Amino acid sequence: MKSYFILLMCVMFLIQYFVNAAWLVYILAIFATVAFIGSITLARTVPRIFSILMFIAGIVLTQLKGQGMDAVAQGITSNIPLLTLLVLVPLLSIPFKMGGFFDSILLYLQKLRNSPRKMFAGITIVLFFLGPILNLGSIRIVHELIKDLRLNTTFLSKAYLVGFSTTILWSPYYAAVGIVLLYLDVSIGNYMTYGFGLAVLFLIVGNLMLGWWARKQQWDTEATNPSEITAVHRKRIRILPLIILMLMVITIVAEFTTHWSMLVLVSLLALLFPIAWSLFSKQWGLLKRHLIDYRDKAVPIMNNEIIMYISAGFFGQSLKGSSFGQGISLFMNDLSQLSFLLFAVFIVVLMVSITFVGIHQVVVVSVIATQMDPVLLGTTKEILAMLLMLAWSTSSILSPVNPINLLVSTLLKKSSIEVGLRDNGWYLLVVCAIGIAILTYFH
């Protein structure tokens, strides 16, 4: 029942976006409030506490500014576009499951078993392309595919987080990119010039650093006998990046021609892509089974995300025009005018520090981005968006309580500190230095 309620809320947002009726905003706010209350008891302790505090603070600040129910409804629903994206994007993975693409990926990875550098490149590239579609599910799927190969856990920790962290930088299907572009009003076409280029650069850096690290390691080169790669599998591997590229192009072109929100376009694509695939493949029975699985397993587990996104959006909107919000804006403007390099380092360190104690990045971005004016900061919206994404990606790996770090540490049976700081600390230090230097130069 909860899954249907969440999905109905997402559909209602899409309708409201096109109808643009004021009364629908109130109904959407009621749905969001009910979803928030219903998810509170099922969420983890830290997100629950911070979400309740932010939600209450949002109400108080809105009332202190003398604003009415209109402002409350707008604040509560401000991050609903991101929740819609988060809920619907997993539907994009269904056609890939139906088409057997994951089986073909497994065979190719098995072929690379005895070459650490090629295996690392294979895993990171797979995550680079599948991460946008499957989100965290891409790590879980890749691990399920290769867990029987008994690879070194430090090797896998590096591969998983190097590969997935690049996804965070560029993918329009990832909620992190969505929230930054939403608040800064940046076109995905303009952002991709920076995001994709920096992501590819970091992917190369990660693979080069692994080559240096792997020379000191002892590797088990026990022969394996993977199944033969048939013409069907080779065809799937050739088609896979083309399909993903096609989805990206459709999103960018549609945004350019319609001027609709990128979040709306991606959400619509997530609904239409499985249907279009089934029309051509005639696999309606298989589609139904995957949809039931999505309803029962994917949607109900988003309690932490629901409460954090709704409360952080409300809190961020309530800060606009408040003395606290103006203080944040003034401080960041002064820091940027003093030194953009210092400003960039501050944003990265702030994001890492706050997420390290369990606060989700969406809180920081919702608060900071709503108070930022790129013109007053002396930079462009694209550079600012890229800086926030660099900080988001870095903190996702380092934070011992971040879902990405927790997933990898759980799969590999290692501590979160080992996975984040010990296994990937040097990589993060290098790419942060490179990223900040590049952004400062273009700034």
Compute the distance between CA of residue 302 and CA of residue 305 in angstroms, rounded to an integer.
5
Judge whether residue 129 has pLDDT over 80. Answer: yes
Question: Does 260 map to a domain?
Answer: yes
pLDDT in the model for residue 375? 82
pLDDT in the model for residue 201? 94
Q: Fill in the amino acid letter for 181.
A: L
pLDDT in the model for residue 161? 92
Q: What is the pLDDT of residues 328-377, one digit of tens each?
A: 778 888 888 889 999 999 999 988 988 887 677 877 787 777 777 888 88
Judge whether residue 224 has pLDDT over 70. Answer: no
One-character DSSP codes across 363-375:
HHHHHHHTT--HH
Can you point out the beta strands (E) in 45-91? none
Number of domain units in the chain: 1
State the virtual CA torsion across 177, 181, 187, 191 in degrees, nearest 10: -50
Closest among 301, 246, 279, 269 to 98, alpha carbons compared: 279
Compute the distance between CA of residue 139 and CA of residue 93 in angstroms, rounded to an integer.
13
Question: Does 175 map to a domain?
Answer: yes
Mean pLDDT of the 144-151 span: 78
Q: What is the pLDDT of residues 3-14, one digit of tens each?
A: 889 999 999 999
Compute the distance between CA of residue 185 and CA of residue 234 in angstroms, rounded to an integer.
41
Can you count the helices (H) and strands (E) in the chain? Answer: 24, 0
Of 24-38, 243-257, 307-321, 354-368, which range is least confident?
Answer: 354-368
Question: Does 130 map to a domain?
Answer: yes
pLDDT in the model for residue 176? 79
Q: Can you give the pTM of this predicted structure?
A: 0.82
Angle (CA) 230-231-237 rounded to 5° is: 95
Out of 44-53, 97-106, 366-375, 389-398, give the one with best mean pLDDT. 389-398
Question: Does 430 map to a domain?
Answer: no
Question: Does 383 map to a domain?
Answer: no
One-character DSSP codes across 140-158:
HHHHHHHGGG---HHHHHH
DSSP secondary-structure letter at 422? I
pLDDT in the model for residue 330? 85
pLDDT in the model for residue 214? 67
Question: Does 359 map to a domain?
Answer: no
Question: Does 346 map to a domain?
Answer: no
Phi-psi region of 43 (alpha: psi -120 to 50; beta: other; left: phi over 0): beta
pLDDT in the model for residue 345? 94
Confidence of residue 221 (pLDDT cuts 50, 70, 90): very low
pLDDT in the model for residue 255? 86
Q: Which domain holds residue 141?
A: 91-281
Question: Does 218 map to a domain?
Answer: yes
Compute the distance between CA of residue 170 and CA of residue 427 in angstroms, rounded to an integer.
18
Judge whether residue 433 has pLDDT over 50. Answer: yes
Q: Is 167 helix (H, G, I), strand (E, B) or coil?
A: helix
Q: What is the pLDDT of residues 162-208, one digit of tens each?
A: 999 988 888 888 877 888 888 888 888 888 888 889 999 999 999 99
Which one has a higher pLDDT value, 358 or 28?
28
Which one has a higher pLDDT value, 400 or 324?
400
Q: What is the pLDDT of residues 68-127, one digit of tens each?
A: 888 889 889 988 988 888 888 889 889 988 988 888 887 888 777 777 888 888 899 889
Residue given tokens 């995957």 in the structure block: 290
